[in-house]
């Protein structure tokens, strides 16, 4: 698939998901669940492997006492 079409398809999906959230809110569904569902759908749509970002972290985790 051409890069231009991938971008267009991705943008269309983002608009459709956002429009779906707006419709859910207008139908009176719970705002928090609508927002969580929309955020989860957008995360799944734009999923990228986190390994390259996590490999950049060299500091040990902070422990707060």
Q: 62 in a domain, yes or no? A: no
- pLDDT at residue number 1: 66
- pLDDT at residue number 45: 87
Q: 14 in a domain, yes or no? A: yes
Q: Which residues contact 13 (CB under 8 A, 6 or more apart)?
A: 45
Range of the domain at 33: 3-44
Q: 52 in a domain, yes or no? A: no
Q: How far apart are the first and last CA of the chain?
A: 52
- pLDDT at residue number 61: 66
pLDDT, one tens digit per residue, over 4-62 is 888 899 899 999 999 999 999 999 999 999 999 999 998 888 888 777 777 777 666 66
Q: 58 in a domain, yes or no? A: no
C-alpha span between 5 and 12 (Å, rounded): 10
- pLDDT at residue number 56: 77
Q: 17 in a domain, yes or no? A: yes
- pLDDT at residue number 3: 87
Q: 49 in a domain, yes or no? A: no
DSSP characters over 3-57:
HHHHHHHHHHHHHHHHHHHHHHHHTT--HHHHHHHHHHHHHHHT---SHHHHHT-
Q: 31 in a domain, yes or no? A: yes
Q: 56 in a domain, yes or no? A: no
């Amino acid at each position: 698939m051409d890069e231009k079409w991938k971008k267009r398809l991705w943008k269309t999906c983002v608009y459709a998901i956002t429009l779906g959230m707006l419709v859910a809110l207008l139908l009176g569904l719970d705002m928090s669940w609508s927002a969580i569902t929309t955020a989860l759908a957008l995360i799944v749509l734009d999923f990228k492997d986190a390994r390259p970002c996590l490999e950049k972290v060299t500091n040990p985790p902070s422990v707060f006492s």
